Structure 1
């Protein structure tokens, strides 16, 4: 046992997870066929080795909100998968290109204490003037929150708040040698507002470049054949036809369309014989053709008639005496088949064929068009989005085509233009409708752009509003740490420079109104667009922020990690559970999940005692103990499945925020027309999810977990719908399931039977219900899951 920074005793995190990650990275670094993947894995190997050394030496306190020895909470650590601090600092590390350029301009070498000088120089008159310029223009990028600290100092100094500036400097100056407290200069200011984009322009440029590298060799071969090889073929055929004594060879095709004599199986060739006469300059023409053919000879198939003809041409030009009668017969056959199939060189028939072939390969290949689009995108600010994508979709210009050796006028295909949606600036609603935002997780990723503008609405001064928005987005990119003992992640207001900005905020009615309307809109959008998905932690974080800006008490609970669960839930979990179970009293949800009067009363008492700050052993273990009883297991380290079962019971009791959002935001009236459809969407998604699992790996526990979460959401929405819809919904599910595979019907039948019993007012835990085969669909079980064997 150790003490963490809060003074609470804690259990040290075992190195097992880090060891597994290191082993996986080592395997990938040595065995993966892709060199880039191996290189990335090698970096991960170094990272996990560094983590394990830090854990064993005590330099990294895994599980603490201040994991690095001596570093305050506001310092942003580099965080690896699973929330493990690596020991590196996000705003630290090697000098970046813009820092090296600044040193070079000052005639200084990149010495070990260079970053101290780079920070300190910005506190001179010239340095502050440069920061004022950045503030006025907004042309800077803040990738780690620390990179905005000196901009805040400059703003405070400019607005005659020296005491606030000195207080901030007292906090950050001790770290001048280690961290960047200055931003990266940018060509354009970053925008903030009610419209967002999914990925910056540079990400789409990278995607286009990747598409540019994926050359379709088959199409290139077709283009080369039509544009280079076939003209050579036509010319070598004409050259040999010029050596024919008599009519051009051809095939006598039978009335039945047969090219061969049915008796002998040989081609019926008519016409004269080649290589009987050589007009003037015939060999010179042959030598020129052979020279043109040489670059293509190595890639031609051995059974290619054109390659054969050029082989014979080489003999005719270099050793005509070596050409025997069999060779001449073979040349005659090739010429005859060519003429009969295509027509004579120069004929209308052959010209029409070659014209159609040229038309088929005239389209510019996608990899070249991807390059054109990438080049167009480079003209825009790379870290922002696109207000208007229409100009990027115009046809390829003459200048663009000339640089590629192609004809102008080619259209950018829709499949490439669709990629622009990812950086298109639009409202969240429009991006969801377009399918650009296709999940709650993706929605959470774009919301900081919107929240940044809302959070900054209480700041009146334009440059500070812009700075706050940039800091907010940078902070939201800060990865969460693995924490123990109910510790909370570092909050934005704990950063000294953000605290200095918060002192300048004006709390008024207008910003609260905007935050509240946005909170309502986003919640409705999330629930109706992705009803099958439990709200992910990043989205909960954004909704919490909006609620705080709206001045609303909206307790939302996060999803907890089973592998570090310590057998305790924070009081807000009890509070949310008490509210949710009271709200759903007597509902389908309560019957299905066995939430009786005793559970509701116990939760109500625990919530009241927690509000009164009463602390007894019973209260401390309250919700966790109740969940242990319901799950039938005990919490403990090394029993991840047990912990997961306990956490799932908490999610059932709290409805994982559904009840809190619907009730506290008063959304029931707006959602009432949609509840039944949302429940149907959940069931349809479960069917797709489980059919995919059956086709891949029937025992996939992740698929079962996701289905159980979606089933819980479905039961909640159905419970909130009018009771008259229950029978209709169950009849609909039966009809929908009847169209699915027998294996899927068998797999979901027990869960659906349990839902029918609950809808009919029966409990699922009595003997009759268990005997009927009805099951409660849960994500975790201490035994083999019944869905894994269905």
Structure 2
């Protein structure tokens, strides 16, 4: 059994299940345990399905009995659990429909209802009003049927029903009604108001802060009362000398009060610690009430406690003591972050739950008169404001500028709305265009499956209800221009925001879809997983490398990585491997293997070195972005400087890192992005390297020592030199992310 067979065998699933089980039973945080328990359940489903033959991991149709177009629940690594996202129990609106119509609470009955005259009328009304949500692609199917029938295309509608009908009892094929129309495609958000509301509701009180508040507002005042009781017994500075007739009654009252306080206020344990002043005073009172009296030791402890309390805070009722307790009372009664979370949560609850927050300023405004929990005018704390910011709605550019988008992966999750609008532009009917856009956006949220034999993920036009609309799609020069503009917009935004990060696969898929809409015919290459790599690349990798060669021939990039783009341009052998495989090039495969020097597909690390060479040759889509006209707003020198800054930050994270290899890979990827930027027209690599040395000199010793060989190697190439076969040049080294043996950055 080779490494890839092990990867998609039960061993990987078993390991993930064991990891989830350990976290679900041993983690100190309850919410983390709960999330791990949910992962445990999903991995149990994966493993059970693999063992009983229901799941075929690595196939486009991994779940027996379900076609490729069904949206599946997919866990880490691309493993299907066997569940369909559009399946499961009825949603609230489905249950309400069954109750209202007197139908059985079954999906097939609801499916049939939507094919009646009244059911079709309901769907048509939703479409015309735009008051619906497509949260999974299947939810658009019956709405498409209604639209087709409304336009007289009965044959397409019946053909679609024939294809989806067998799954009517298992899947939901209708959209979710909403109260107001969805915002336009220009508006995006990272989290919905419902997501933000859940985060706010999950904001639990900080036990340490609550204990402190309890100490300030409950136990300190009680300690003052005990101290005042004992001060009434003081003669010439000595405590417990004089007791009047009322002292014992007062003492009993205080002890009773203590029992009530201790029953209700249990966060602060200070009063239960024998060595604390409050506990000493209370124990002495108990001894006197019980008639045991004070021993020499307890009398000494009592005297010390009283003296220290007077010395630190003054006598209860004195100006200094009153001022201190007043300040502490203010602190102890100030609203906590938990209180503010509840207050802001009430504001968010009034917003549409399935959209972002359009007016973040209003939601995070200071406390208004009449709002409970905090004084009017109190500002909302920054941690609560950050939660609200996650739900901010606006253009992608606005969200990036506001710092709401922390990574290229998060950015990729926002772009389906933009790509969806461009994809839907080819449908002339406005109602249909909105439905297709909503469907495409839901499709963009599908998780990728683990696939073998170069099979590709299901594409949007493979969905039966999208194919049924083919006759109503009319691509024009205008719609192609629209897609091309969206492609360049997203590409530039990614470069500007994250110049040192690989394009994540979800973003690559969106760019590829836009490229198809624009009829550009360009290759967009995904990042491949080293643990399932099968030793060959699809033909688009060679095409992407040739585009890179046209741009980078004779450049710093070519010389640094020792590429012969002229020779690569002459590779034209493309064959077919497997019935479902995309075109591949044996010569390109061999070139990557030779450049990696790994000697074959023996391990994950060896696979990684080969994949990295393909990324180097293709520039992992950077050259393709330039080819379609993308250029950074601030210029290539700025991107190069930011790429080097990212490499510095990542290098610092290698130290004391128990898992340094992912960080080393990210460092090398940032370095490669930087080299690409340095190789663009208008960039002076010599001046840039001088600035890099200045930046490196300001770093801690660890970073300087680790990254100096890489920068020295770059300076050597900039000056006209090159690397030896082993990637060294005097004291310099070529920086790569993968290594079969121990990496020199570790």
Note whether the superposition's TM-score is higher than 0.5.
Answer: yes
Residue 706 (1) aligns with residue 666 (2): yes
Residue 651 (1) aligns with residue 641 (2): no
Give the length in aligned residue pairs: 730
Deviation by residue 1:257-301 (Cα, 9 ceiling, x = unmatched): xxxxxxxxxxxx54897534336xx65555444433322357413
Residue 83 (1) aligns with residue 78 (2): yes
Residues 154/707 of structure 1: CA separation in 2 closer, same or farther (3 Å cut): same
CA–CA distance in 1 between the matches of 2:296 and 2:32?
A: 59
Could you say what the CA RMSD is over the residues aligned between the two structures, in angstroms?
3.3
Residue 21 (1) aligns with residue 11 (2): no
- Contact conserved, 2:217 with 2:329, CA < 8 A, in 1? yes
Residues 350/735 of structure 1: CA separation in 2 closer, same or farther (3 Å cut): closer
Q: Which residue of 1 aligns with 2:449?
A: 481
CA–CA distance in 2 between the matches of 1:476 and 1:710?
A: 27
2:567 aligned residue (590, 601, 605): 601
Structure 1 window deviating more from structure 2 (46-55 vs 414-423): it is 46-55
Residue 530 (1) aligns with residue 522 (2): no
- Contact conserved, 1:60 with 1:68, CA < 8 A, in 2? yes
CA–CA distance in 2 between the matches of 1:314 and 1:619?
A: 88
Residue 359 (1) aligns with residue 347 (2): no
CA–CA distance in 2 between the matches of 1:338 and 1:221?
A: 21
- Contact conserved, 2:596 with 2:609, CA < 8 A, in 1? yes
Larger Rg: 1
- Contact conserved, 2:716 with 2:729, CA < 8 A, in 1? no
Tell me how far 1:410 sits from its aligned partner. Answer: 3.3
Q: Which residue of 2 aligns with 1:423?
A: 391
Deviation by residue 1:551-572 (Cα, 9 ceiling, x = unmatched): 4333211112223333332222
| Equivalence map 1:217-236=2 (5 Å) | 217-236=207-226
CA–CA distance in 2 between the matches of 1:195 and 1:531?
A: 24
Q: Which residue of 1 aligns with 2:466?
A: 498
2:697 aligned residue (718, 726, 738): 738
Deviation by residue 1:644-689 (Cα, 9 ceiling, x = unmatched): 2222211111111111111222x35x56x62222112111211211
Q: Which residue of 2 aligns with 1:278?
A: 245
| Equivalence map 1:107-122=2 (5 Å) | 114-122=106-114
Q: Which residue of 2 aligns with 1:627?
A: 592
Q: Which residue of 2 aligns with 1:303?
A: 275
Q: Which residue of 2 aligns with 1:660?
A: 624
Q: Which residue of 2 aligns with 1:787?
A: 745
Secondary structure in 1 matching 2:152: coil
- Contact conserved, 1:555 with 1:572, CA < 8 A, in 2? yes
Tell me how far 1:531 sits from its aligned partner. Answer: 1.2
Q: Which residue of 2 aligns with 1:695?
A: 656
Residue 373 (1) aligns with residue 338 (2): no
- Contact conserved, 1:440 with 1:526, CA < 8 A, in 2? yes
Secondary structure in 2 matching 1:515: helix
2:714 aligned residue (755, 766, 790): 755
| Equivalence map 1:94-493=2 (5 Å) | 94-106=89-101, 114-211=106-203, 213=204, 215-239=205-229, 243=232, 269-270=236-237, 275-278=242-245, 285-297=250-262, 299=269, 300=271, 301-314=273-286, 318=289, 322=293, 342-397=313-368, 399-401=370-372, 404=373, 408-493=376-461
CA–CA distance in 2 between the matches of 1:704 and 1:273?
A: 70
Structure 1 window deviating more from structure 2 (460-469 vs 686-695): it is 460-469
Q: Which residue of 2 aligns with 1:677?
A: 638
Q: Which residue of 2 aligns with 1:64?
A: 59
CA–CA distance in 1 between the matches of 2:623 and 2:296?
A: 93
Secondary structure in 1 matching 2:73: strand
CA–CA distance in 2 between the matches of 1:332 and 1:60?
A: 76
Tell me how far 1:16 sits from its aligned partner. Answer: 3.8
Deviation by residue 1:731-771 (Cα, 9 ceiling, x = unmatched): 2222222222333333223322321222122231369x846
Residues 65/563 of structure 1: CA separation in 2 closer, same or farther (3 Å cut): same
Structure 2 residue runs of 5 or longer lacking an equivalent are: 264-268, 577-582
Q: Which residue of 2 aligns with 1:261?
A: none
Q: Which residue of 2 aligns with 1:728?
A: 687
- Contact conserved, 1:240 with 1:274, CA < 8 A, in 2? no
- Contact conserved, 1:468 with 1:501, CA < 8 A, in 2? no
Deviation by residue 1:387-446 (Cα, 9 ceiling, x = unmatched): 102222234356443xx5x65553321221122111111221222222211211111011
CA–CA distance in 2 between the matches of 1:496 and 1:488?
A: 17
- TM value normalised by structure 1: 0.84
Residues 394/709 of structure 1: CA separation in 2 closer, same or farther (3 Å cut): closer
CA–CA distance in 1 between the matches of 2:408 and 2:500?
A: 10
Secondary structure in 2 matching 1:203: helix
CA–CA distance in 2 between the matches of 1:83 and 1:326?
A: 70
Tell me how far 1:97 sits from its aligned partner. Answer: 4.2
Residues 634/53 of structure 1: CA separation in 2 closer, same or farther (3 Å cut): farther
Residues 66/342 of structure 1: CA separation in 2 closer, same or farther (3 Å cut): closer
CA–CA distance in 2 between the matches of 1:343 and 1:749?
A: 61
CA–CA distance in 1 between the matches of 2:90 and 2:84?
A: 13
Residues 333/75 of structure 1: CA separation in 2 closer, same or farther (3 Å cut): closer
| Equivalence map 1:551-630=2 (5 Å) | 551-596=519-564, 599-606=565-572, 620-630=585-595
Tell me how far 1:640 sits from its aligned partner. Answer: 2.9
CA–CA distance in 2 between the matches of 1:566 and 1:306?
A: 71
Tell me how far 1:539 sits from its aligned partner. Answer: 0.8
CA–CA distance in 1 between the matches of 2:651 and 2:322?
A: 57
- Contact conserved, 2:59 with 2:451, CA < 8 A, in 1? yes
